[in-house]
Structure 1
Amino acid sequence: MRSSVVVWLAILALVASCTSSARAPRKKDYARALGEGENALELVTDRSEYPDFRAMYGDSDSILRALRESRGWFDKPSSKRHYPVAGFTHDRVAYSLDRLIEIVASAQSPEELSGLIALNFDVYRSVGWDGSGEVLFTAYYQPIFDGSRQPTAAFSEPLYGLPADLVKAEDGTPLGRRVGETLVAYPTRREIETTNLLKGQGLELVYLKNRLDAFIIHVQGSAKIRLPDDTFVHVGYAGKTDRGYTSIGQELVADGHIADDDLSLSAIREFFSRRPDLLDDYLQRNDSYVFFTETGPGGPYGSLGLPVTSYRTIATDKTIFPRGAPCAVATRMPKLSPGGSDRVEDFVALVCDQDTGGAIRSPGRCDVFVGTGEAAERVAGHTKYEGRLFYLMAKERP
């Protein structure tokens, strides 16, 4: 009898274990890198899995502006060194831009736009984080902060230009720090800040009010700085160290300070306003450090040196996706309302792959540029939705 009980208990334990395992959802690792031999893009052979190109009709001026900026980049001889990538040649991507410009400029209805794209283009889909095509979409923006050319009691946190000892590859990939004839890893953010490594080299471009403002610019990659005389300094990304990026937002969630569902830039600001004693520790958990250059008023500019366009420029991992290529996205984004009660709507749009970012390092991540200033910050701070990322390649090849 006792042996029967033991057997039944063992069976029940096994069933419970299996049930528990079945119920436990697989953790979504959007930062998962491609495995050896894996491709970031796959051809979509079933048209029912295409995005709704009809919903992309309208506001042709903004997408044409972005497409033409990308096409101009392909005319630069230096653009050829970034191809082929993901199986696509430089000429095919340039031709794809030409064809899409023609189609967007000529289409007279949503149905015509959809039909022409489906007829003239092969549609490729990002494999996403797990091969299913699921991509996590976030958003970024250009902040506007008060600042000063000189350090003052009110403005003491600098943004730095590129140091002479930072070594980059021809394509801009950071390689490390030159020390004599040796190449070593660049110091971490914590090491840079606690040793004042960059101070006194004449690299200071502008000074901000506080460390969090400066850090936000590091994450966003560009900013407009309002000086005391009401003029502006425009700064943009110039390079970064070879250290990895860590999201302080995710660190705050992991430590139980902010609920994952409540995570936003405003929530992060509010937390550090209550706990300024924790600011340095969390900021310095992100080992990566970003350097800047003055860009002039025509930007902001993406990693291709092109002006980015609101809701038409995306940032992706440029080691696996074709730079400057025409794309389509299907996800959701907040829609601002004047009263402050935002709603979430489908965001289905033609876009261009014109930028990259420190946190965008896998086929499961994509960042959408949403503009400049406080309204854009509101959108960017609340955008975290799953969706699909597509690349459009002309069927006819030159």
Structure 2
Amino acid sequence: MSWLPTIAYQTVMIAGVTLLGLTSSPAPLQMRPLPEVPADVGLDTGLWGPGGDRQRLLRSIDESLRYLRTPKAKADYAAYTAEGQAGAQFGPDLHQRMIRSLQRFRHLVRHSHSPQELQAAVRREFNFYQSVGHDGMGTVSFTGYYEPTYQASAVPTADYRYPLFRRPPDFGQWPEPHPTRADLEGADGQQWQQGKLQGLELVWLRDRMEAFLIQVQGSAQLRLTNGQIMTVGYAGKTNHPYTSIGQELIKDGKIAREELTLPRLIAYFEANPEELDNYIPRNKSFVFFANTAGSPASGSISVPVTPERSIATDKSLMPPGGLAIIETALPFAVNHDWEQRPVSRFVLDQDTGSAIRGPGRVDIFMGTGDTAKARAGLINTPGQLYYLLLKP
């Protein structure tokens, strides 16, 4: 969801899987993952004035409301609030309460005339629930994900040799455990012609790392050699757990933990291309794709995700489509460099990912293309996560 939090997309999202593999131990589940706290958290002030993105926030709210009005959302919330599940603390009315919460918050965003007016209304009308984080004290680890844009070819050529693959038509009958990545494509990523993937090539990339990054993100926009734009999205994955190659590099002493960013990881493999055959197969999980015909990147609740307004979390613990506030630091361009600035921002919880597990992990969707890629790769910061529900 993390980065594959782009993105899982047309079915069961895989969007939030962070390539960097920032992980944390979940808090004990006998502890409520979202205890109520005083409403003294800092609130979003970036919705007014030059550069304000109030319309983008409203659009994201509308997408969550669209999901919440579906039969799937009703079933999701019934499971989430069932006895023994994380959402049981809110009671069986949570689904309708969430709808009322978003409807009222949308009205406040539209009709408030200043940050102060909105803040006062939210504090007055909403209850705040803070994630216990990975330490039981509210500390949440934030990463970023994005929808990459790459050059690609509809046919194999001498330059474009690394395919993405369609979901096999007999995938539901594959024996378990499924074949590993190495079984399916070989250590060098070029041996698929002899196995289960033969004939399932969807589109071709010229760089193995780019093809792998698309699997990590879960979707991509591709500029084809014929001038057309193709979008691809998640269509399924094998049942092996995700393994972060960033964590593997740290474990092997190739990169220091404090130095790990996406640019640093890419630079390592550009300098040591032979290492791709060693590290990529360590992630045994394999992702399949579909041509999404220009559809925007979507999250695990099957609605489009919005840059800097959509997050990915563990949906066994956090309410799908819910209204939240994140407090962390994000990178901003300053004088041809990046500067980390603290933010307090309203977001909608619309995605998940294979590496997003426990109450201490959040992945922020940063958008599409190179700038989003650069910013997402620099997010590896602590912070806090809060959910807002309209008072009963």
Give the direction of change, closer, same or farther, for the CA distance of 1:99–1:166 in structure 2 (3 Å limit).
farther
Matched, 1:77 2:71: yes
1:191 aligns with 2:187: no
Which runs of 5 or more residues in structure 2 are unaligned? 1-21, 81-86
State the AA in 1 paired with 2:247. Answer: Q
- For the 8 Å contact 1:316–1:356, the answer to whether it is kept is yes
Cα distance in 2 between the residues matched to 1:38 and 1:192: 41
Q: Tell me the residue number matched to 1:64.
A: 58
Q: How far apart are the structure 1 equivalents of 2:293 and 2:26?
A: 35
Matched, 1:375 2:368: no
**What is the 5 A alignment of 1:65-214?**
65-84=59-78, 85=80, 86-87=87-88, 88=90, 89-167=94-172, 178-179=173-174, 184-194=176-186, 196=192, 197-200=195-198, 202-214=199-211
- 1:54 shift after superposition: 5.0
Equivalent residue of 1:64, what SS?
Answer: helix
Matched, 1:274 2:271: yes
Give yes or no for the alignment of 1:33 onto 2:23: no
- 1:273 Cα deviation after fit: 1.4
**Partner secondary structure for residue 385 of structure 1:** strand
What's the offset of the Cα at 1:116? 0.9
Contact kept? 1:30, 1:128, Cα under 8 Å: no
Aligned to 1:171: none
| Residues 56, 341 of structure 1: alpha-carbon distance in 2 compared, 3 angstrom cutoff | closer
- Give the structure 2 partner of residue 19 of structure 1: none
Partner of 2:305: 308
Partner of 2:325: 328
Question: What root-mean-square deviation, in Å, do the aligned CA atoms of Structure 1 and Structure 2 show?
Answer: 1.7
One-letter code aligned to 1:160: F
Secondary structure, aligned partner of 1:67: helix
Give the TM-score, by structure 1 length. 0.84
User: What residue is the counterpart of 1:216 in the other structure?
Assistant: 213
Task: State the 1:258 CA deviation.
Answer: 1.7
Partner residue of 2:336 out of 340, 349, 352: 340
- Mapped to 2, the partners of 1:36 and 1:334 lie a distance apart of 33
Q: Which of these residues, 36, 57, 65, is aligned with residue 43 of structure 1? A: 36
Give the whole-Å Cα distance in 2 for the aligned partners of 1:332 and 1:342.
12
Q: CA deviation at 1:206?
A: 0.9
Contact map agreement 2:39 2:127 (CA 8 A) in 1:
no
Retained in 2: the 8 A contact 1:137–1:386? yes
Partner of 2:17: none
3-state SS, counterpart of residue 385 of structure 2: strand
Query: Structure 2 CA distance, aligned partners of 1:123 and 1:165?
Result: 46
Does the 8 Å contact 1:141/1:369 carry over to 2?
yes
Give, in angstroms, the shift of residue 282 of structure 1: 0.6
SS at match of 1:279: helix
Q: 1 or 2 for the larger relative contact order (CA 8 Å, sep ≥6)?
A: 2
Any conservation in 2 of the 1:128–1:134 contact (CA below 8 Å)?
A: yes
Q: Aligned residue pairs: how many?
A: 350
Q: Could you say which residue in structure 2 is the equivalent of 1:248?
A: 245
Q: Secondary structure at the match of 1:152?
A: coil
Q: Cα deviations across residues 220-240 of structure 1 (Å, max 9, x unaligned)?
A: 111001101221110112222
1:41 and 1:124 in contact (8 A); partners too? yes
Letter paired with 1:62: R
Who wins on radius of gyration, i.e. which is larger? 1
1:350 aligned onto 2:340: no
Q: Is the 8 A contact 2:128 2:389 kept in 1?
A: yes
CA deviations on 1:130-157 (whole Å, 9 max, x unpaired) are 1111000010111111111111111111
TM-superposed deviation, 1:335: 0.6
